Amino acid sequence: MVGRWLGRYVLPALVAALFVAPLWFMVVGSLRPTGSPPPRTLELWPAEPTTAAYARLPELVPLFRYLANSALVVALAVPLTVLVASLTGFGLRLLSRPARRRALIGLLVLLLVPVTAVWATRFEVFRLAGVVNTYLPLLAPAALAVSPFLVLLYAWSFGGVPDSQLQAARLEGAGWLTIWRRLALPQVKPATLAVAVLAFTFHWANFIDPLLYLTSGDRYTWPLGLRFLLLLNPTDWPLLMAGSVVATAPCVLVFLLAQRVLLADDPLAALRSKGRP
């Protein structure tokens, strides 16, 4: 009984605390007086908490413009990523077993290619296309589903759609796009949420692409703004922590909302919340 209680409550709480601790100390550090050095000992809460560091952010960098630029990129890139990854994953589901196996091996090989190996080539392609200093290079990863992993995630999820349903829909005259949209996609909502969250995190935290392709200050995204804070005030610990909190909070919020939706769609969770067996 004790072991079951430990495995059900204590162990998950310890694992959650392990991941939450860095976020907590980042928030605590942002509430210290501006200009304060990092604490020498473990500090669970500052002696004199203040939000002065957050108030200074718009004074040093155009905070709201950078956040709006990041939000614009994410609003365009996340739906595009979901669309491309789901269509590609569904296409893999429709292949024959030998062809599907070869395609999966090819995606796994692509996963092994480091991103740094294609930076120079990608920059030259975008430069020749005349789209440097626009958001198109930032949206290009979304047009390729960001990562082969997201395509594999969809392919694995679509594998749970029975062949009988696909064949029945084809006999009724439905096209493959209609089957993907009305039959297959509604059955893989968890995969769609996971891909959307991962795509949001990637594009929101993307630092290298804006650094390479954006040259106008009015187009910069928040990761670049965070870098400017480090260059302007490398010793102002609370200010840097406040900028990090602003950068991290949207990702945490999106993850919590996605988790809430997943739990709401889980019938077993609904039954447990009502106290049914």
| pLDDT at residue number 272 | 43
Region for residue 163 given its phi and psi (left: phi exceeds 0; alpha: psi -120 to 50; beta: otherwise): alpha
Rounded CA-CA distance 142/77 in Å is 5
pLDDT in tens, the chain (277 residues): 556 766 666 777 777 778 788 888 888 888 888 777 777 777 778 878 888 889 989 988 899 999 999 999 999 999 999 999 999 999 999 988 899 899 989 988 988 888 888 888 999 999 999 999 999 999 999 998 888 999 999 999 999 889 899 999 998 888 999 999 999 999 999 999 999 999 999 999 999 999 999 998 899 999 999 998 888 888 888 899 999 999 999 998 998 888 877 776 654 443 344 444 4
Residue 273 has a pLDDT of 44
